A and B are shown apart, each in its own frame.
Chain A
Amino acid sequence: MVPEFILPWVLNLTMWIPFAGSVLLFLCGSPKRGRVMAIAFSTFSLMMSILLALQFMPSYSANVQFESVGATLSDTVRLGYVVGLDGASMLLFAMTSFIGWIAIITAPTVFSRTNNAFYGLLLILLGASLGVFAAQDLFLFYIFFELALIPMAFLIGIWGEEERTSATYNFVIYTLVGSLLMLVGVLTVGFTSATLIDGVSFSTHYDDLMAAAPLFQDLPVWVFGSFLLAFVIKIPLFPFHSWQANAYAQAPIPAVLFLAPIMVKFGSYALVRFLIPYFPVLFDAVTPWIATLAVVSILYGAMIAITATDIKKILAFSSLSHMGFIVLGLVAWNESSLQGSILQMVNHGLTTAALFLGYGYIMASNPSRHLMDHGGVASTRPVLTTMIVIASMASVGLPGLNGFVGEFLILSGAFDSTQLGSTLYAVLAALAVILAAMYTLRLLKFTLFGSPQHDFQPEDTDRSTLPKGWVLGTFVVIMVWIGFQSPTFTQFSQEWTIILLDHVQGILSTSGLSNVSPETYVPFVL
């Protein structure tokens, strides 16, 4: 049994150890030991976060646990270092440290030009991503949110593939524009929340913000808009996705392992963490729009993936499609769909990471992103093939694996949602089960099956892929575990979801707008 007072320190260590590691790597790491150090630091961080997950009490998931309060800027400006975990963030936090660890330990097998700076940036990325989920202060969240952008820009810009420069510009400018606008929103919200507290002029602590949420309903619409824009770009939602495919295609695989499974979750996490509880009235008003965009993303992403020929882009568009499900679950806004969305964020992280890693292995020995240059992997590498097939099945939502559980909760929730008011969203979204099978099986057909298109090097015999099999096998075990024992995971968010819905209902019922049906101020309803 771990004494409870240690746990906040464990949380701090989990986050800061990667940062410390990166500083050490930049300053004094010898080129040979860089990888070992990076692995050591990220492993330590992973151990700590597993400990936290085991110590987390799901029945109190509405409360912030392991809370650690650092310095505040001043007495009148309640802005500072507060971290902790609750029902919405615990699983994402654990997933982040797991996938981050995987990205670091597998880096040399999928990417040949690693060096100390590369590992250092990966570690910063890991620390910042953990910080995003652990922050309990909106400003702190914003800092980590932006901080994660910097190492990623370097990773794509320096180590990326041939069109890295334009991909980096696209990625940085796009997301930066969104988040700078959000900064203004953050400041406005901070000043507003302070009006409730005596002697304080600014506060961004989550608790203060939640308490002040009813006041936010009267803020100008652009404040809400600035948050919304930042998040839908990050997720991304159609039509804000044009940075995505290029960034995924150009980034080196270890960076993609942060970008696709973890960083896009910043957006969806922020949606449920801030937008829904802080601006329920406005969110309610734009629900038909966002739900429509989510459904369009689902179908559009899936359909483009059907004819795309770049392996990484196919996975990117599949990601666009899957993130649409998560957003649909968030806007459908009932217990089942919200829990489904929170679980699906983790699921999508795991499956996307496993797929990018699996195809990363393939592309490492046959460096082409083009579908037709591959084939016949199944003949020489049955282990890798098996793992990729299982991960693909999780991605198409085969029951018994993790993806199905999330999708079922989301879709059944959306089907029954009074918030959406129409079953059509869920039915159209469910069409993706057919489309997903089409693009995923096509990808499998051209990469794994058929006759070998490429002579694998002698060292690529079966035996050398076994460690890779173990890495991917870990993912598969977790996928099956979630697939059959989902209550173990949904219980993390159960209580939190109920409290969130109560909070939202409370604000909606006191606000005059709640009596107005969405149709009256939103002209277009699906």
Chain B
Amino acid sequence: MSLTTLFALVLLGLPALGALLLGVAGLSNESWRHHRTIFGTLATTAVTIPFFASLYLGWVVFQSGGFTAHFGTFLEAGQWSVDLAYLIDPLSITMALVITGIGTLIHIYSIGYMKHDAGAWRFFAYLNLFIFAMLQLVMADNLLVLFIGWEGVGLASYLLIGFWFKKPSNTDAANKAFIFNRIGDFAFLVAMFLLLKDVGTLQFSGILEGVSGMPQDTLFWVGLLMLIGATGKSAQFPLFVWLPDAMAGPTPVSALIHAATMVTSGLYLVTRLSPMFVLSPEVMMIMAVVGAFTALIAATIAVTQYDIKKVLAYSTVSQLGFMFLALGSGAFVAAIFHVITHAFFKALLFLGSGSVIHTMEHAIENHDGAHDAKTPSQLDPQDIRLMGGLRHAMPITFRTFWIGTLAIAGIPPLAGFFSKDEILMHTFNAGMGEFAGPLYIVLWVVGMVTAFMTAFYMVRLTATTFHGESRLEAQLPGASKSFHESPRTMTFPLWKLAIGSIIIGWIGLPNFVVESFTGQEAHIHLLKEWIYTQAADMKVTLSYLTEWILMSVSIVVAIMGVSTGWRLYGQGQWEATDQALQNQLGEFYNTCREKYLLDEFYQRMVGHPVRWVCKHILEPIDRFGVGGVVAFFGVTTRVSGGVLRILQAGLITNYAVFILLGVIFVLALMILGPSIGGTP
């Protein structure tokens, strides 16, 4: 085994080993479970070492190009076989770095966050399992191994959403996530069958070689089915409803799985197969429309929510919509760029919210609530209406949260600005070019509106949480004395992610800024230099002037969003502002607040009818109908039942005699056989 393969094995295997070890240790001995810090530290190690392994592999790839690591055969049948093989190339290493890097920080954070939870041992085993599955997903060299990771992250997500299993609503949320993901997986499976049938391979290289010979029909169907698979996993319309519910899990889980990594796997898949997708303009267009639409409606919902994690969840859906818009516009590098920047600032925001929730929980629990009719248990520690005034007590959380907010709002030179600007520029480009047409200009406008709303609702969230006076104090006088900054294990990752949210955008500085001055091709977009071979990006045909104008527009929009948000919410006046918004917008506001009634729609139109059919049609059929279909046997039963009743006198000897008679009958047939049936 060569050194590089060994490193690949460490990268892929260590998290699995960690999950196994922690799981077995926790299961086998109850007293070990109390050593939560040890469990946490071991789990962190099992992610940190792979991070360094992927750094090394990245260096190897940079030096001498990508390679494939083989670990045997996974599946074999007839004409095709699938290897348990992993692709080590710029794209997969980039993803691996994000997963293990942010994964490490979130593991560290979790040591502090789960310090008082008796189930911490399970938590860390699941978290390692997730990292293992996610690495399978991004490193796979073929669709089937990718699918191991694809469903594996679904399992980890299911286990972690339902982590506090005593509360039935948590289990419901976990089931919902799994089932909605499965809808996408169904489409994914059929896409694989189609590829096996028409191309005969599931290997990425084989598929991409075969695309030129693929009929347009196959291209369209494979693309569409994979897109449906991606909408399930990456929470796009109409399958995004599971993601907000997934916030039932512990907050580090929301940061790692439901913001930074798992939900981006659909984007990774499309980018990996981008040369195939670009050949089918219809699928690209559907993808762009779905993305823009999701981005917009999720943003409108986010403006109306009061649960700090729900706002962030809808914001995630909305940002994922941006990434799909990028894919649909043929800007695969930009999509991956936004995956990376988003991973930083969204993980930061979620961890910050976790820090806030932690202190709120503490304050509510500490307070005996003797003064008030409201008992502490009725107060929701995630409700921003109860927050406010946290800026003094938690300065680190406060500052880093603002950095995250400005980054996602798209204020330069923070990370979100560069990636979002690149996406919108490409959408405009697609609208101008021959590829797509004016529809994309509309999508660009939608994108700009969403960008404005993003800045707006994020400032609303941050201002309402940290600024103004403490509203918990009004409910529970004296409660604000319990506010405190989180422990170091939690603030350390916050700082690291905040620094990342500031500088990570600089790996993708727009080339045209230099080019417009020098007139020569520039190479300051490092990410593009690094992964362009894997991504079949559309050419940009815009003039430098247009690009400058577009960039100025997005800066203006971001600043407008932030300043409007600050003007309306900056002093903690959320109540008046929301009331005014509601009065202005009327029914539309309520629809947004009720999440467009999508959940109710699924319940009414799918859930209830399916259950009704099962219960009131299939079950009676099974009880009476099928018996009727085979009435023949029913009659036989009754007649022979009478005969058997004689035999079933309960005496074993009777049965023995019956069996003996049978044997004699059979033997007689055998022996007489030759004489009665010489010929058939």
Contact = CB atoms under 8 A, between A and B. Distances in A.
B388 to A, nearest CB: 34
A421 interface: no
Nearest to B665: A183
Interface string B170-202: 011011001100110110011011101100000
Given A169-B644, A433-B182, A449-B165, 9 more contacts: A173-B641, A173-B644, A191-B673, A219-B680, A335-B79, A411-B193, A412-B193, A426-B190, A441-B179
Nearest to A438: B179
Interface in B91-127: 122
A437 interface: yes
Contacts of A487: 73-76, 81
Interface stretch (B343-351, B519-527, B618-626): B618-626
B211 interface: no
B644 A409 contact: no
B669 A307 contact: no
B378 interface: no
Nearest to A174: B633
B469 interface: no
Contact of B626 (A239, A399, A426): A239
Given A304-B622, A376-B166, A382-B27, A405 B75 contact: yes
Interface stretch (B476-484, B544-552, B608-616): B608-616
Contact of B619 (A177, A239, A304, A412): A304
B72 interface: yes
B164 to A, nearest CB: 10
B629 interface: yes
The prevalent SS among residues of A at the interface is: helix
Contacts of A448: 165
Which one of A169, A307, A404, A412 has the highest number of Cβ atoms from chain B below 10 Å of its Cβ? A412
A456 interface: no
A99 B505 CA distance: 58
Contact of B175 (A242, A304, A441): A441
Interface in A447-501: 448-451, 462-463, 466, 469, 484-487, 490-491, 494
Interface stretch (A46-54, A71-79, A346-354, A503-511): A71-79
Contacts of A398: 151-152, 155
Given A399-B147, A487-B76, A393 B155 contact: yes
A408 B171 contact: no
Interface in B75-97: 75-81, 84
Interface string A422-433: 010011001101
Nearest to A73: B670
Nearest to B164: A449
Interface in B635-676: 636-637, 640-641, 644, 655, 659, 666, 669-671, 673-674
Contacts of B30: 462-463
A411 B179 contact: no
A450 B644 contact: no
B629 A445 contact: no
Contacts of A389: 159
A174 to B, nearest CB: 6
B659 A150 contact: yes
A238 B183 CA distance: 25
A393 B26 CA distance: 21
A434 B186 contact: yes
Interface in A358-380: 376, 378-379
Given A77-B670, A201-B673, A430 B636 contact: no
15 contacts: A187-B677, A188-B680, A334-B78, A376-B166, A399-B152, A400-B148, A400-B151, A411-B193, A415-B194, A416-B197, A441-B174, A451-B166, A486-B74, A486-B75, A487-B75
A484 B74 contact: yes
A241 interface: yes
B242 to A, nearest CB: 12
A386 to B, nearest CB: 6
Which one of A170, A177, A449 has the highest number of Cβ atoms from chain B below 10 Å of its Cβ? A449
Which one of B77, B147, B196, B677 has the highest number of Cβ atoms from chain A below 10 Å of its Cβ? B77
Contacts of B64: none
A473 to B, nearest CB: 9
Given A303-B614, A399-B147, A490-B77, A433 B165 contact: no
A195 interface: yes
Contacts of A241: 626
Interface in A316-359: 334-336, 339-340
Nearest to B77: A336
A307 to B, nearest CB: 4
Contacts of B65: none
Interface in A76-117: 76-77, 79
Chain B contact-residue range equals 35 or more
Interface string B238-282: 000000000000000000000000000000000000000000000
> What 3 pairs between A and B have smallest CB-CB spacing?
A335-B78, A415-B193, A336-B77
B137 to A, nearest CB: 11
B584 interface: no
A445 B168 contact: yes
B77 A413 contact: yes
B28 interface: yes
A399 to B, nearest CB: 4
A383 B673 CA distance: 58
A62 to B, nearest CB: 15
B162 interface: yes
Nearest to B628: A239
B614 A307 contact: yes
Contacts of B586: none
A192 interface: yes
B172 to A, nearest CB: 7
A304 B644 CA distance: 32
B215 interface: no
B144 interface: yes
A423 B191 CA distance: 12
B377 interface: no
Nearest to B193: A415
Interface string A39-59: 000000000000000000000
A408 B148 CA distance: 12
Nearest to A452: B166
A224 interface: no
Nearest to B625: A239
Contacts of A33: none
B615 A307 contact: yes
Nearest to A466: B28
Interface string A387-407: 001000100001110001100
Interface string B38-51: 00000000000000
B674 A77 contact: yes
B23 interface: yes
A434 B640 contact: no
B487 interface: no
A77 B144 contact: no
Contacts of B610: 303, 306
B612 to A, nearest CB: 9
A450 B172 CA distance: 10
Given A173-B637, A201-B674, A240 B155 contact: no
B186 A242 contact: no
Given A416-B196, A433-B189, A484-B84, A201 B166 contact: no
A202 interface: yes
Given A173-B633, A334-B78, A379 B166 contact: yes
A399 B148 contact: yes
Contact of A449 (B147, B168, B626, B669): B168
Contacts of A77: 670-671, 673-674
Contacts of A416: 193, 196-197
B213 interface: no
Interface in A102-137: none
Contacts of B77: 335-336, 339-340, 409, 412-413, 490
A196 B437 CA distance: 74
Contact of B618 (A300, A423, A442): A300
